[in-house]
Amino acid sequence: MTEIFSVFLLILLVITAGAAIRTTNLFVAVMLMGIFSLLIAINFFLLDAADVALTEAAVGAGISTVLFLGALAFMNEQEREQAPKRLAGLISVSITALIIAYATFDKPAFGDPNAPAHQDLAPWFLETTQSAVDIPNVITAILGSFRGYDTLGEVFVVLTAAIGVLFLLDTPSAGNMLKRDEGLRHYLIPRMVGRLLIPFILLFGLYIQFHGEYGPGGGFQAGALVAASMILYALLEGQDRALEVLPQRVLTFLMAFGALLFGGVGVIGILNGANFLDYSVLSSDPVAGQQIGIILIEAGVGFTVTGVLLSIFHAFVARGRTQ
């Protein structure tokens, strides 16, 4: 039954993507990308990938729309007319699509239990999680412990990307602003509703952070949700007030501290005579050590993601204000 819905939503997805490409108005494209993100998240959900769907929910629906609009604020809304070189593009895309479609014939069928992906590491992960880490959500065990190197890499990629963005756009400082940003302070209804919402988003973010071992969630999603609550505050009360609550130097510190915490947990493993990012030695009981390690690195991921998303948001808003 879910397959029918999946296919229907995938058709809508293709229509949305096509419309987003065809439109020449960038604002319309941003709106359509919002719908695209909602659609892809439902599809992730229907494929039982709740962790990925939650990330898409936290980042795609809220924050990327805000960042797109922040970028659009100092650009022209209308795309420039482009010289039509459509035929060559159409031919090359068609050939690539045919090759990819041909390659999919060799892939195992959807949901095939004999597919190589289900034969190699997956059974080992499912068996070992219970005895070695003892948490119900296998995905968190894989992400935090078995594949800790990959997650560490991701955190540093996020940090590097933020450093790059902050080099291009100046970090906001009080001196170069033209006027005080009032936000939506004079609009009573959004302000009241938003104020009611902020504590719940923060609470939900903390729940996602600490419940990641039991249900979908973890540091990435929680960091995005916490950042979203601060972005909501900045939209309602103005950027200046938001920067008074969480100044840029705190955000910069959070960014670096999260990555350092993650790396530091790995180094503690080496100092205790184990491998890098082996949490078993963090406690006398290896299983408890694994759990402590996962909690610490998830906290590190959460700090970094919060700091990075908020820094980028503030940089975009500040750029829009100084121009």
Partner 1 sequence: MIFVVVAAAIAVTMALALARAILGPSHYDRILAVNMFGTKTVLLLAVMAFMMGRPDFLDLALAYALINFIGILAVLEFFRDKAPKVERPKDV
Min dist. Cβ of residue 244 to partner 1 (A): 19
Q: Return all residues near 204 (Cβ < 8 A) that are at least 6 apart.
A: 225
Min dist. Cβ of residue 281 to partner 1 (A): 33
Given candidates 10, 17, 46, 115, which one binds partner 1 under the rule CB under 8 A? 46
Min dist. Cβ of residue 297 to partner 1 (A): 21
Q: Are 245 and 80 in contact (CB under 8 A)?
A: no
Nearer Cβ to partner 1, position 1 or 188?
Answer: 1
Q: Return all residues near 233 (Cβ < 8 A) that are at least 6 apart.
A: 194, 198, 241, 242, 245
> Alpha helix locations (H) across the chain?
2-22, 26-46, 50-55, 64-72, 86-104, 116-119, 122-128, 138-141, 148-168, 188-210, 219-237, 239-245, 248-271, 286-322
Establish if 279 lies at the interface with partner 1 (CB under 8 A): no
Min dist. Cβ of residue 14 to partner 1 (A): 11
Q: Quick one: 106 exposed, middle or buried, by C-beta within 10 A (0-12, 13-18, 19+)?
A: exposed
Beta bridge partners of residue 215, listed in sequence order = none
Q: Looking at residue 78, what DSSP letter applies?
A: B
Given candidates 10, 14, 17, 19, which one binds partner 1 under the rule CB under 8 A? 19
Given candidates 158, 231, 254, 277, which one binds partner 1 under the rule CB under 8 A? 231
Would you state the structure tokens that stand for residue 93, as one six-digit string?
């895309």
Nearer Cβ to partner 1, position 70 or 289?
Answer: 70
Please give the residues from 153 up to 212 whose contact with partner 1 meets the rule CB under 8 A. Answer: 183-184, 190, 193-194, 197, 200-201, 204, 208
Point out which residues bind partner 1 (CB under 8 A).
1-2, 5, 8-9, 12, 15-16, 19, 25, 27-28, 31-32, 34-35, 38, 41-42, 45-46, 48, 50, 53-54, 57-58, 61-63, 65-66, 69, 72-73, 76-78, 183-184, 190, 193-194, 197, 200-201, 204, 208, 215-217, 221, 225, 228, 231-232, 235-236, 320
